[in-house]
Amino acid sequence: MTVLIVDDQPDVVRGEEQGINWTSLGVDRILSAYSVPEAEKLLLSEPVSVLLCDIEMPPRSGLELLELIRERKLPTRCIFLSAHAEFTYAQEAVRLGGFDYILQPAPYSEIEDAVLRALDDIKEKAPVSVHQEREPSPGEYTGSSSPVASAIEYIRQNLDRDISRSEIAEAIYLNPEYLSRLFKKETGIALNEFIVREKIEQAKSMLEGTDIPVSLIALKIGYTNFSYFSQVFKRHTGLSPLEYRQQHGRH
């Protein structure tokens, strides 16, 4: 597995090269670049698994690299490490398909966790060889024969997006109406309500255990409208996200 680190500050690149336990993550090759043009050349010439990238690298932006990855359909997962908490930056990163957005300064352990999740995501979605190359069927998300278990696993692996009933049903080869009835029968909860509950639980966990800005937490669980996220969160917990963090966050 190859990781490309991109930042216009050499100290940052050096720190990530030396401070992260790459061997334990299964990464055997580290590439580095100090500008967007330099990184573009590497992305187009090397098989890069994970891109660790700053956003502001004047006169260009790291978001351009994510656009390149999307346009060329590269299998690279992009993790942004930025000192900027602006909602618009994170929103654009999510819109373009960024894998994660980490607000700096962050401990190397947090970066390691994001890289590990990205590598796991690559392995899960990589083609496998069974007589011939094929894409893994979405039902392989769990290895379980239960459609409801498969649906739950799919939901939990895609909480960072706005997933729909139709998408989940297609992923596990079921009719959407049938999936809804089956899910409610086996769990006692409507499918859409379960999705929201899972997102809120993940948001609560991040509010309790991290200092990530609330606006970024909203994006990390698939809500691009911050006001709507706050309304949904309060409806489920009785508190606004900020109130919840004040009462339950680490001190």
> Model confidence over 19-49: pLDDT tens digits?
999 999 999 999 999 999 999 999 999 999 9
pLDDT of residue 6: 96
Return the residue matching tokens 């997962």. 77
Task: Output the six-digit token pair for 159.
Answer: 């909480």
Task: Output the six-digit token pair for 112.
Answer: 């390691």
Reported as a single tens digit per residue, the pLDDT across 192-215 is: 999 999 999 999 999 998 888 898
- Mean pLDDT, residues 88-100 taken together: 76
Task: Output the six-digit token pair for 39.
Answer: 């990184």
pLDDT of residue 251: 61
Q: Evaluate if residue 60 carries a pLDDT over 60.
A: yes
- The whole-model pTM stands at 0.56
Element at 29 (helix H, strand E): strand 29-33
Does residue 81 sit in helix, strand or coil? strand
Reported as a single tens digit per residue, the pLDDT across 158-205 is: 998 889 999 998 888 888 888 888 899 989 999 999 999 999 999 999
Contact 226, 218 (CB under 8 A): yes
pLDDT of residue 137: 41
Reported as a single tens digit per residue, the pLDDT across 111-152 is: 998 899 888 888 877 654 333 333 334 344 444 457 889 899
Backbone angles phi, psi at 28, to 5 degrees: -110, 0
pLDDT of residue 83: 78
